[in-house]
């Protein structure tokens, strides 16, 4: 269990990530960073700025533009006792290293009984007009791959705690960071226990008794705004945030639906085969007799992300679109 924990008020999401990395590296010399331009430049988003000066070139390593090679090398380093943390410049680029991740790192323990304590940080999501190669939400790619844990925190305190837990976990962890939250979301960091592995978490961010809303990442903030609007109409929405997508903490979702009898899932990823479809199936499998209507999915359409911010904004679920989906669920 880590002893060194940053305690600070009003911490930006991006700074919480930097604190987590720095605290883990100070605590454990086996933690090393890999990624494109992460050393002297500090990475595309400056999260590792100053790390090279403190920890040196052995532990803060620039890599070439070769994601497959980076993940392969990191997997080998993890097997040999290191704890590598890779920064993808953008989550979308993981596709170039897909085989090394889902067929090598994810399955290594089942083939050899060798643990692979590897974390891949994935800056993803839209809202910045960055186009089709820099804006995707690709969590469902990895939720379909056994052997990988998937994290997607919405708040700075979870971002800090779960990044440290991911580094301590003996399994490969895909750690999604939403770029839109980097310099917008603020939360206090308190003296909290850091778990030694990732386990399922479902958090009730707002209680309610008319409808259960499930979301993660940036969309949790949109959902909370929408819940405020619906409260003006006398409709109280219970907002469940999933900072950990795999393993899934299903029980709090089912308990909430038993109370509200209605469910809606909001995610920024495209609709077809998104994680919302799996959640809806699990709710149907285990809680269908408590539902008073079909599960609603409020998602990005099946479309690549446009550069134009206006067009992109029309695709990302807005507060109005979320409220409309909830009214449909309740009707």
For residue range 224-250, list pLDDT tens digits in order.
Answer: 999 999 999 999 999 999 999 999 999
Helix (H, G, I), strand (E, B), or coil: what is residue 32?
strand
Does residue 155 contact residue 14 with C-beta atoms inside 8 Å?
no
Nearest-angstrom CA–CA distance, 119 and 150: 10
pLDDT of 2 strictly over 70: no
Give the Cβ contact number of residue 125 at 10 Å.
29
Which domains can be identified in the chain, with CATH numbers? 8-189 (3.40.50.970), 201-330 (3.40.50.920)
Read off the tokens for 207: 């209680």
**pLDDT (mean) for 115-140:** 94
Q: What is the model's pLDDT at position 205?
A: 98
The whole-angstrom separation of Cα 141 and Cα 223 is 24
Whose tokens are 């820099």? That residue is 134
What pLDDT, in 10s, does the model give residues 279-322? Answer: 999 999 999 999 999 999 999 999 999 999 999 999 999 999 99
Measuring CA to CA, which residue among 31, 13, 48 is closest to residue 169? 31
* C-alpha span between 137 and 245 (Å, rounded): 13
Quick one: pLDDT at residue 127?
86
Residue 125 CA to residue 178 CA, distance in Å, equals 6
Number of residues in the chain: 331
Burial of residue 200 (number of CB atoms within 10 Å: 0-12, 13-18, 19+) = middle
Give the pLDDT band (50/70/90) at residue 191: confident
The DSSP code sequence of 212-229 is EEEE-THHHHHHHHHHHH
* Cα 211 from Cα 252, distance rounded (Å): 14
To the nearest whole percent, how much of the chain has pLDDT over 70? 99
Can you give the pLDDT at residue 211?
Answer: 98
Q: What is the pLDDT of residues 24-75, one digit of tens each?
A: 999 999 999 999 999 999 999 999 999 999 999 999 999 999 999 999 999 9
Element (H, E) at 113: none
Give the CA diameter of the chain.
Answer: 60
Q: Read off the pLDDT of each residue in 114-120 and give the average, rounded to a whole number.
A: 98
Torsion of the alpha carbons at 180, 175, 159 and 131, rounded to the nearest 10:
0
- Matching residue, tokens 């009214």: 327
Residue 116 and residue 172 in contact, taking contact as beta carbons nearer than 8 Å: yes
**Contact indicator for 180, 125 with CB cutoff of 8 Å:** yes
134 assigned to active site: yes
Cβ of 93: how many Cβ atoms within 10 Å? 16
Say which of 19, 41, 134, 262 is annotated catalytic.
134
Cα 154 to Cα 12, 118, 162, 244, 278, distances in angstroms: 12, 22, 11, 10, 20
């Amino acid at each position: 269990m880590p002893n060194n924990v940053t305690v600070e008020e009003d911490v930006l999401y991006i700074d919480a990530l930097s604190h987590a990395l720095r605290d883990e590296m100070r605590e454990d010399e086996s933690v090393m960073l890999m990624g494109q331009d992460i050393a002297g430049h500090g990475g595309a988003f400056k999260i590792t700025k100053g790390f090279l000066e403190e920890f040196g070139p052995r532990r803060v390593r620039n890599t070439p533009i070769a994601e497959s090679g980076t993940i392969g090398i990191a997997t080998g380093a993890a097997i040999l006792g290191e704890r590598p943390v890779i920064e993808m410049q953008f989550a979308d680029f993981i596709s170039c290293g897909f085989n090394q991740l889902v067929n090598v790192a994810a399955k290594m323990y089942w083939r050899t009984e060798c643990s692979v304590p590897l974390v891949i940080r994935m800056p993803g999501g839209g809202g910045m007009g960055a186009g089709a190669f820099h804006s995707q939400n690709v969590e469902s790619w990895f939720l379909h791959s056994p052997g990988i844990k998937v994290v997607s925190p919405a708040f700075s305190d979870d971002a800090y705690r779960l990044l440290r837990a991911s580094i301590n976990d003996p399994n490969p962890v895909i750690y999604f960071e939403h770029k839109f939250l980097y310099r917008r979301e603020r939360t206090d960091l308190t003296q909290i226990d850091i778990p030694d592995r990732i386990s399922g978490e479902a958090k009730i961010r707002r209680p309610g008794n008319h409808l259960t809303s499930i979301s993660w990442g940036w969309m949790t903030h949109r959902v909370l705004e929408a819940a405020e609007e619906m409260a003006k109409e006398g409709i109280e929405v219970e907002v469940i945030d999933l900072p950990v997508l795999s393993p899934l903490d299903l029980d709090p979702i089912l308990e909430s639906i038993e109370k509200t009898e209605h469910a809606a899932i909001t995610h920024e990823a495209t609709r077809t085969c998104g994680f919302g479809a799996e959640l809806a199936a699990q709710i149907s499998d285990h809680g269908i007799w408590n539902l008073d209507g079909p599960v609603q999915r409020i998602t990005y359409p099946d479309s690549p992300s446009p550069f134009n911010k206006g067009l992109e904004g029309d695709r990302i679920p807005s507060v109005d679109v979320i409220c409309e989906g909830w009214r449909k669920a309740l009707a």
